[in-house]
A and B are shown apart, each in its own frame.
Chain A
Amino acid sequence: MTSPPPAQSPPAQSPSSVAPLLVPGCAGVLALGCLASVLASGPVQRPVALAFGGLVVLGELTRRTGAEAREAAPLGAAGALAYALLGDVAGRPAQHGVAQTVTVVLAASLLGSVPYVARGSGPVLDHLARRVLTVGFAAVCFRPLSQQGAFDHWSGPADALLLLALLALTTLCDAVLAAAPAHARTGWPFGPLLREELRGMVGITSAVCATGAVMALAVSVAGLWALPVFCVPLLLAQLSYRRYAAVRATYRQTIASLARATEIAGYTPAGHARRVAGLGVAVGRDLGLSGAELTVLEYAALMHDIGQLSLVDPVPAGATAGLPVTEQRRIALLGGAVVRQTGVDAAVAVVVERQADPCREQPVAARIVRVVNAYEEKARDAGPGGGLTALEELRLAAAGDYAPEVVEALARVLSRGSLTGPAAG
């Protein structure tokens, strides 16, 4: 695998001016078309539309933001999907078409976002665009066929399975919609981005899909009364998820503080651990790591120097890459011992322990930590152009020390010049 030399112009810059506008653009066109169609023909079955609209508004009102939250408004999403996949209401066929589905969901989402925008809590455009497009996708797949009576002779369980299959397709569509702009913006490889989106959807998104399907089926059995009853389990899931996300964020902050201990103690320069973690995660993403692996890599990179706390005399400028190999290994083992005490995943301790081993014996995260740490130490004092020199040094170093594929990945990441990927986890 050959890679562009770092000096070459960043490959991701040219399409990035158009691509981010693609998703909101499509959503806008779709929304306007649907709105015009509904205005022309008038809405049908208003109570049903109002009930589902109310549910979506409620879902939007309970939404929170946070980098950790994969699905910000699960209840809103479930309500919108259920409206798109609604076959009949208490035995009578549901008559709303694609246009009305999209219009109701859009109007309700806009209404629910008002307090959110008024608080200035952040942009909602991406969220709305994705919502409109996924609901539009589900509605286009289901509504025309359903209204022509294509599923009338299907048995009940087959109907339920059909809904599940449609929801799986919709989820895939949503993942593509999330991964494509991220790919265009940052230039990360598309495959791992999509995989990571899908993997992140296993949790709350599967609950959203199941609730959407259950709501659609339950409304067709029991009428609109089913809606308030049936959104409770999802609210519970949302609550649990939020607390989990909160404690995760806190935990990350504490790990970062522990990592700063070496800097405060004067063993390593300020910001070193943070920079190695940021660059290391970018390299890991480039190499196709995802989800839990990236978290392990991030924690290990943050704490990779913690073994130095046990040293009596600080290493000059904390530059461990220049030490004899045996000394490097000793510090790495000391660090692993400290990390084991902290209660993080044992995989993190293993990475810290083995960061100084020959690269053929290392797990891939340890290879990344070793290369990125060496690069950071070599490049930081060298001033402008120091990065290139450092990369050359890493390439020319003894073959057993730095894994060549990691060095090349580092070169690619540096050539893109941006480290602003989506947050790990």
Chain B
Amino acid sequence: MDAVPARARVYVAGVALAALLCLRPLPSVRAPWWAVLLLAGLYAGSELVARSRFVGTCYPVLLAGAFLLPPPAAALVALPGALLSPVPRRPFGLRRLWRAAQLTLAVWAAAWVHWQLGGRDAVVEPAFPYALVPAGAAVLAFCLVLTVLDGGILTLADHVPPGRAWRGLFSRSLAPIAVHGLAGLMMAVLWRSPYGPVAALLVLLPMCVAWWAFAQYHRERAAHQATIRALVQAVDIKDGYTRGHSERVGQASMMIARELGMDDERVETLRFAGILHDVGKLGVPTRLLRKDGPLTPEERRVIELHPEYGHEMVRGIRFLGEARAAVLHHHERLDGSGYPYGLAGDRIPESARVVAVADAFDAMTSTRSYSRARPVAAALQELQRCAGGQFDPRMVRALVHALERHGWRPSVTADGTPAPGAAPPPGRGEDARDSVGRGAP
């Protein structure tokens, strides 16, 4: 998105102008300049570290500045860090300018509110619990300015409809910024105490640990998903003709689960159930999986062991929950003639009934070595014909409804990117907490 619309440029220029106006009274302001320098340096340093580790912005320093300094001086604290720290994508200059202007305005607003409510004296004294009131108001102002400006740039540069751009932006970012605000208040109080800035710096340590753990969490989570993909790819390598089958079954299972009104966590579990349902094929000799032509009863028995192999593999992974039962029972049939245990009706776990329908649907609509792909409509007809005997009619109906509503656009690659409309992966909400101020353009 190198081409930034002209109106977005005008918007950024306007915000930058407003920020400059905030800074204009600086020459006449009396402020402890060494404190401004120290805080600005601290913010710039923490920004450099934070950006290279992909963690959030260091708001506590900025808010401490807003609680300690007169508004123009507080706004100045944000400037060097925002201008110097690296930005992830082009156009670099414009992004830096935007971030600096946005943060300057937000910090100025917070400091102004705090100043007007007499927060400075409350911090110096310190007068608790009154000090919490101006600090709370300042945090609200800070958050409000950030989200309003962010929503504007999303609308103008990324063409997000205004309603969606602002919806939830404020409520999502308020809680994390409030925590940062408490840390900032703590810093400010200790800074003005006899213990001085040394004690104030200690406040940042727990925050740093939180950020570190947060970054580690994301790294491990990404590695974990890569490992699951590796499991699936291992199956795909063995079982040549099913390329992408696992991912598509995961997607269809997810659609059924959502249509049945399951909560997000169960929907995600069922996606994993679909993805991993054939993982037991790792235990079946490659020669059998790739055999053209009819199988002997002996060979069929070996292949029919794969649900049990799969369950044996995944049973130690606790977070999979009911997905493990789905792996074991996805070849059971409603009339009790399936394998491995010949369960019937409600004895078959719900997750397994979902995956069974999704599995059959994808098997019919994709090309196999022994059969051409059938159109979606024909496959659904076949599923409805077998509903009651082989499949749970409720799941078949759910699939039909889901396909009517969303259509069937399976992702072609097997690299595990969730399809449009996929469940937000757990943790997306936390990503958003730091997206404010880092967002567009």
Most buried by B among A204, A229, A248: A229
The reply to whether A210 and B210 contact each other, CB–CB distance below 8 Å, is no
- Inter-chain contacts of A251 with B (CB < 8 A): 220, 223-224, 227
Q: Mark A270-287, 1 if CB is under 8 A from B, else 0.
A: 000000000000000000
Interface size on B, residues (CB 8 A): 58
Q: Does B66 contact A (CB under 8 A)?
A: no
From known contacts A251-B227, A253-B318, A341-B226, infer whether A225 and B206 are also in contact, taking CB-CB under 8 Å. Answer: no
Closest B residue to A255 using CB positions: B227
Contacts A232-B179, A258-B227; A237 near B319 (Cβ below 8 A) = no
CA distance A338 to B226 in the complex (A): 11
Cα(A204)–Cα(B222), bound, Å? 22
**B224 lies within 8 A of A221 (CB):** no
Residues of B within 8 A of A230 (CB): 182, 186
Looking at the assembled complex, report how far the CB atom of B401 sits from the nearest CB atom of chain A, in whole angstroms: 33
Does A226 count as interface, using CB distance less than 8 angstroms? yes
B313 A217 Cβ-Cβ under 8 A: no
* Chain A binder among B39-47, B89-97, B189-197: B189-197
Check B222 against A343 for contact (C-beta < 8 Å). yes
Known A251-B224, A343-B226: A221·B234 in contact at CB below 8 Å: no
Q: How many contacting A-B pairs (Cβ < 8 A)?
A: 186
What's the nearest-Cβ distance from chain A to residue B283, in Å? 4
Contact flag A240-B214 (CB < 8 Å), given A232-B182, A251-B227: yes
The reply to whether A244 and B217 contact each other, CB–CB distance below 8 Å, is yes
Residue-by-residue, is B48-68 near A (CB-CB < 8 Å gives 1, otherwise 0)? 000000000000000000000
9-residue interface stretch from A7-15, A156-164, A359-367: A156-164
Q: By the criterion CB–CB under 8 Å, are A214 and B199 in contact?
A: yes
Let me know if B283 and A265 touch, CB within 8 A. Answer: yes
Tell me, in angstroms, the Cα distance from A359 to B435 when the chains sit together: 49
* A203-B312 contact in complex given A222-B128, A264-B283, A266-B283, C-beta closer than 8 Å: no
**Which residues B332-374 have CB closer than 8 A to chain A?**
none
**By the criterion CB–CB under 8 Å, are A221 and B193 in contact?**
yes
For the complex, give the distance between the alpha carbons of A258 and B310 in Å. 11
Interface residues of A in 282-338 (CB under 8 A from B): 309, 312, 338
Cα separation A239 to B430 with both chains bound (whole Å): 12
The answer to whether A223 and B203 have CB atoms under 8 Å apart is no
Whether the Cβ atoms of A204 and B209 lie closer than 8 Å is yes
Interface of A, secondary structure class, is helix
A191 CB contacts on chain B under 8 angstroms:
none
CB-based contact B206/A261 at 8 Å = no
* A22 → chain B closest CB, angstroms: 31
The answer to whether B189 and A222 have CB atoms under 8 Å apart is: yes
B6 at the interface (CB under 8 A from A): no
- A240 partner residues in chain B, CB cutoff 8 A: 209-211, 213-214, 217
Query: In this complex, what residue of A is CB-closest to B207?
Result: A233
> Interface digits, B152-184 against A, CB 8 Å rule (1 contact, 0 not)?
000000000000000000000000000100110
A303 to chain B, nearest CB (A): 10
Query: A390 near B: Cβ within 8 Å?
Result: no
B313→A223 contact, CB < 8 A: no
**Does A206 sit at the interface, judged by CB under 8 A?**
yes
Contact indicator A237/B282 (Cβ below 8 Å): no
Q: Is the CB of B189 within 8 A of A264?
A: no
Asked whether, in the complex, the Cβ of A203 is within 8 Å of the Cβ of B226, the reply is no
Chain B 123-164: CB-based contact to A (< 8 A → 1; otherwise 0):
000101100100000000000000000000000000000000
B230 contacts across to A, CB distance below 8 A? 258, 338, 341-343
Could you say which residues of chain A place their CB within 8 Å of the CB of B224? 247, 250-251, 254, 343
B226 touches A237 (CB 8 A): no
CB-nearest residue of chain B to A274: B316
Decide yes or no whether A190 CB sits under 8 A from chain B. no
From residue B365, how far is it (CB to closest CB) to chain A in Å?
28
Instruction: Tell whether, in the assembled complex, residue B190 and residue A221 are in contact, meaning their CB atoms are under 8 Å apart.
Output: yes
Q: Which of B282-317 contact A (CB under 8 A)?
A: 282-283, 286, 309, 312-314, 316-317
| A218 located at the interface, meaning its Cβ lies under 8 Å from any Cβ of chain B in the complex | yes
| B190 near A217: Cβ-Cβ < 8 Å | yes
Of A160, A203, A257, which is within 8 A of B196 by CB?
A160
Chain B residues in 8 Å Cβ range of A226 = 128, 186, 189
A342-359 CB contact bits vs B (8 Å, 1 = yes)? 111000000000000000
A243 to B186 alpha-carbon distance, docked (Å): 26
Partner of A250, one of B195, B205, B317: B317
**Contact B183 A233, beta carbon cutoff 8 Å:** yes
Pick the residue among B205, B314, B317 that contacts A207 (CB under 8 A).
Answer: B205
The answer, yes or no, to whether B228 is at the interface (CB within 8 Å) is yes
B203, B213, B217, B234 interface centre (most CB from chain A within 10 Å): B213
With A157-B196, A233-B182 known as contacts, the answer to whether A254 contacts B217 (CB < 8 A) is: no
| Contact call A156/B194, Cβ cutoff below 8 A | yes
B210: chain A residues within 8 A (beta carbon): 207, 233, 236-237, 239-241
One of A206, A241, A338 near B205 (C-beta < 8 A): A206
**Contact flags (1/0) for B221-259 with A, using CB distance below 8 Å?**
111111111110110000000000000000000000000
**Is A160 in contact with B198, judged by CB distance below 8 angstroms?**
yes
Q: Which of A214, A233, A344 contacts B190 (CB 8 A)?
A: A214
Q: How far is the CA of A160 from the CA of B221 in the complex (A)?
A: 38
> Given B193, B213, B217, which contacts A203 in the complex, CB threshold below 8 Å?
B213
Residues of A within 8 A of B282 (CB): 261, 264-265, 309
Within the assembled complex, what's the spacing in Å between the Cα atoms of A253 and B209?
25
Q: How far is the CA of A390 from the CA of B344 in the complex (A)?
A: 51
Within 8 Å of chain A (Cβ to Cβ): is B185?
yes
B216 within 8 A of A: yes
Q: Which residues on the B side are within 8 Å of A261 (C-beta)?
A: 231, 234, 282-283, 313
Given the complex, which residues of A lie within 8 Å of B229, measured CB to CB?
Answer: 341, 343
* Nearest CB of A to B213, in Å: 4
Complex contacts, B228 vs chain A, CB 8 Å? 254
* Whole-angstrom distance between the Cβ of B322 and the nearest chain A Cβ: 16
Contact residue among A211, A254, A255 (Cβ-Cβ distance under 8 Å from B206): A211
**Does B441 count as interface, using CB distance less than 8 angstroms?**
no
B325 to chain A, nearest CB (A): 16
A188-219 toward B: CB 8 Å interface, digit per residue (1/0)? 00000000000000011011001101100110
Contacts of B202 in A (CB 8 A): 160, 164, 210, 213-214, 217
A234: B residues at CB distance < 8 A: 206
Contact of B234 among A164, A206, A260, A309 (CB under 8 A): A309
Question: Across the interface, which residues of A come within 8 angstroms of B437, CB to CB?
Answer: none
The reply to whether A229 and B186 contact each other, CB–CB distance below 8 Å, is yes
Beyond contacts A221-B195, A237-B209, A250-B224: 10 other A-B pairs, Cβ-Cβ < 8 A, are A156-B195, A160-B202, A217-B190, A217-B195, A226-B189, A229-B182, A233-B203, A240-B210, A341-B226, A341-B230
Mind listing 8 A-B residue pairs with CB under 8 Å? Answer: A210-B202, A214-B202, A233-B206, A240-B214, A247-B221, A251-B227, A257-B313, A265-B282
Query: What 8 pairs between A and B have smallest CB-CB spacing?
Result: A343-B226, A156-B194, A225-B128, A210-B205, A240-B213, A207-B209, A264-B283, A237-B210
Residues on A facing B (Cβ under 8 Å)? 155-157, 159-161, 164, 203-204, 206-207, 210-211, 213-214, 217-218, 221-223, 225-226, 229-230, 232-234, 236-237, 239-241, 243-244, 247-251, 253-258, 260-261, 264-266, 309, 312, 338, 341-344
